[in-house]
Amino acid sequence: MQGDLLTSLLPLVALFAIFYFLIIRPQQKQAKAHKEMIINLKKGDKIVTNGGLMVEVVKVEDAFFVVKNSDNSEMKLAKEFVARLITE
C-alpha cells in the first residue's frame, strides 16, 4: 500500500519540479531583473513604455518618472509601465 502511494505520487512530484524549473523560476528571475532595472533608472536614460512609446527620463520620483518624448513634451509615467531600457 505504501509503495503504491509513493509510485503514484512520484510522477506528480516530478511534473511539479519540471513546471517549477521551466516556468516559475525563470519568471521570478525576469521579474527581479525588471525591478532592479526600474530602481536603477536615472535622468537621461531612454526607455520603452508598455504602450510602445520611446521616451527619455527627465526626473525620477517615488512612484513616477517624468519623461519627455521626441517633440520634448513632458509627461508623468507610472513606474509599473516601463517595459525596458534602451541601450545603444
Write out the chain's pLDDT in tens, 88 residues: 667 888 889 999 999 999 999 999 999 999 999 999 999 999 999 999 999 999 999 999 999 999 999 999 999 999 999 999 999 7
- Range of 33's domain? 2-85
Spatial separation of the C-alpha atoms in residues 53 and 47, rounded to whole Å: 8
Question: How far, in Å, CA of 17 to CA of 32, rounded?
Answer: 21
pLDDT of residue 63: 95
The residue among 39, 65, 36 whose CA lies nearest residue 53 is 65
> What is the per-residue DSSP string for 28-57?
HHHHHHHHHHHHT--TT-EEEETTS-EEEE
The total domain count for the chain is: 1
* CATH at 51: 2.30.30.140
Tell how strand 82-85 and strand 54-60 pair up.
Answer: unpaired
Whole-prediction pTM value? 0.77
Separation of alpha carbons 73 and 81, rounded Å: 18
